[in-house]
């Protein structure tokens, strides 16, 4: 089921745990020896996963061929076209907040590392466009954003294929009277980031995305408030905005500045950055809290474009980085004995992939500027060290771990076979043309065999703090995949495949 975040505050109080021995590979050193994993294969599959999450009318090019059309009347109850987009995880609701974040991160993966993707670049662009097209529909009416399709409570009371959905496809929106700056600004970020993906290959489409991003951001800033306030009964506890909306406003402005180079957004960042939490010490980056990502993104303007007025963001980004590096005086990050970054028991792998992406991206900016990070006590952290930490996390995910298991479905000889995912766990329409009812499907949830449909490329929530993974379908915390786990991994894998000489 969709991620429950009520434990977030408690989880952030976890004490810092020093890694046993030298669990993080390559402390201060570059990668040596042959590649441990086929990152090119993993990259291909990480992008392919998004096709299994598609909602709407599937194109002839659909490669996860066991899926069929679904949600073809989405939006009809509100007299708006909301067909398309992605299911966030293993359920059938379209949650706009995590979907927009997934699109921002997938677009950032392409913007930052698309030049290394070679033959996969077109597939990555198609994955971005599928989400961006939906976000254009969701923002078609001024001062209104449609942020969810589907009654989450009733959806979660069923275990059925997207193709069989008969639960209410209720439409939820934010507007001037029910504001949602968090989801609106994230949507603006996704549109702006996506515009950069298509700037050269489809400039007309890119311009349309950017124009819409500006309008949506203006709405987010003008009508301030959290969508969790007005829509609490419908979006909570699934995707409550626990961190507030300030981080999304800074994040959205950062993306609009990058996409437009307009002094308007530079001025916005300069005037509002501190109020919006630019210097907060939080170091959890994901669909809810964007502060760390915004710091890294804005720091690029200083490091690469030499925008001197944003020099303080190098310090803000460094503070985040230092909190991630084991052995530094300000290290705040917990790792398992096997070396996996550990933030939360529920879908921990999303923080592994998002953190690895930020480490690799910041390393790129630092290397360009010939800079390093200095942590408390004079500890100097090089771009090579950041790459080594990120590389170790991705290697763990792909199988270099105590379980000897890949956490990406379809990659390697041993991977999760019983993922918490309705469409994957139930017979496909081709295998079973007859409808499978709401409660009838629960037989599959609790069955012991492997899922009949392999959702290639899906990365699950991952192992627990003891590096254990039971591979049980009803264990959504560890066995459920999600778009926001895969999205940042796409960029990380493109970089690693290239650096391993596989692309």
Catalytic residues: 420
Structure tokens at 215: 């309008």
| DSSP tag of 18 | P
List Cβ neighbours of 108 (8 Å cut-off, separation of 6 or more). Answer: 193, 357, 361, 488, 491
Task: Report how far apart, in Å, the C-alpha atoms of 232 and of each of 36, 180, 229 are.
Answer: 45, 11, 5
> In the structure encoding, which two tokens stand for residue 448, read together?
């012991």
- 304: closest CA among 249, 256, 261? 261
Contact status, residue 492 vs residue 42, Cβ threshold 8 Å: no
Residues 6 or more apart in contact with residue 137 via CB below 8 angstroms:
75, 80, 81, 82, 83, 84, 146
Question: Is 187 within 8 Å of 193 (Cβ atoms)?
Answer: no
Q: What is the widest separation between alpha-carbon atoms in the chain?
A: 66
Q: Encoding tokens for residue 461?
A: 């929530």
Q: Checking phi first, is residue 56 left (phi over 0); if not, alpha (psi -120 to 50) or beta?
A: left
Cis peptide before 291 (omega within 30 of 0): no
Rounded Cα distance, 321 and 190, in Å:
24
Q: How far apart are CA 298 and CA 59, in angstroms?
A: 37
496 closest CA partner among 23, 36, 108, 110: 36
């Amino acid at each position: 089921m969709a991620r429950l975040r009520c434990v977030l505050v408690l989880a952030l109080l976890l004490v810092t745990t020093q890694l046993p021995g030298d669990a993080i590979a390559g402390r201060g050193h570059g990668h040596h020896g042959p590649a441990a994993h086929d990152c090119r294969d993993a990259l291909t599959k990480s992008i392919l996963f998004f096709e299994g999450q598609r909602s709407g009318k599937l194109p002839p090019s659909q490669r996860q061929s066991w899926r069929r059309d679904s949600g073809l009347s989405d939006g009809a109850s509100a007299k708006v076209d909301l067909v398309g987009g992605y299911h966030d995880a293993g359920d059938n609701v379209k949650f706009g907040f995590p979907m927009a974040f997934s699109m921002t991160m997938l677009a950032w993966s392409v913007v930052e590392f698309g030049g290394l993707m070679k033959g996969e670049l077109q597939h990555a662009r198609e994955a971005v466009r599928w989400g961006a097209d939906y976000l254009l529909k969701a923002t078609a009416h001024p001062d209104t954003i449609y942020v969810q399709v589907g009654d989450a409570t009733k959806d979660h009371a069923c275990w059925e294929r997207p193709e069989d959905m008969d639960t209410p496809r209720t439409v939820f929106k934010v507007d001037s009277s029910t504001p949602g700056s968090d989801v609106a600004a994230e949507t603006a970020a996704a549109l702006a980031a996506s515009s950069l993906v298509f700037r050269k290959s489809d400039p007309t489409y890119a311009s349309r995305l950017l124009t819409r991003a500006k309008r949506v951001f203006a709405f987010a800033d003008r009508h301030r408030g959290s969508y969790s306030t007005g829509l609490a009964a419908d979006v909570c506890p699934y995707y409550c905005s626990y961190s507030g909306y300030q981080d999304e406003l800074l994040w959205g402005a950062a993306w609009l500045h990058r996409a437009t180079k307009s002094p308007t957004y530079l001025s916005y960042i300069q005037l509002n950055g501190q109020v919006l939490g630019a210097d907060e010490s939080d170091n959890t980056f994901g669909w809810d809290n964007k502060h760390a990502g915004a710091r890294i993104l804005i720091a690029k303007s200083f490091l690469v474009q030499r925008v001197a007025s944003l020099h303080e963001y190098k310090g803000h980004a460094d503070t985040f980085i230092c909190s991630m590096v084991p052995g530094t005086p300000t290290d705040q990050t917990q790792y398992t004995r096997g070396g996996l970054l550990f933030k939360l028991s529920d879908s921990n792998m999303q923080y592994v992939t998002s953190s690895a992406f930020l480490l690799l991206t910041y390393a790129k900016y630092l290397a360009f500027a010939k800079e390093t990070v200095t942590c408390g006590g004079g500890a100097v952290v090089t771009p090579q060290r950041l790459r080594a930490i990120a590389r170790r996390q991705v290697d763990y995910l792909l199988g270099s771990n105590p379980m000897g298991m890949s956490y990406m479905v379809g990659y390697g000889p041993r991977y999760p076979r019983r993922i918490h995912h309705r469409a994957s766990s139930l017979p496909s329409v081709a295998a079973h043309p007859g409808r499978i009812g709401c409660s009838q499907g629960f037989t599959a949830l609790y069955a012991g065999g492997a899922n009949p449909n392999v959702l290639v490329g899906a990365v699950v929530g991952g192992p627990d703090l003891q590096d254990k993974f039971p591979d049980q379908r009803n264990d959504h915390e560890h066995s459920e995949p999600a778009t926001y786990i895969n999205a940042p991994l796409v960029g990380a894998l493109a970089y690693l495949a290239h650096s391993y000489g596989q692309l």
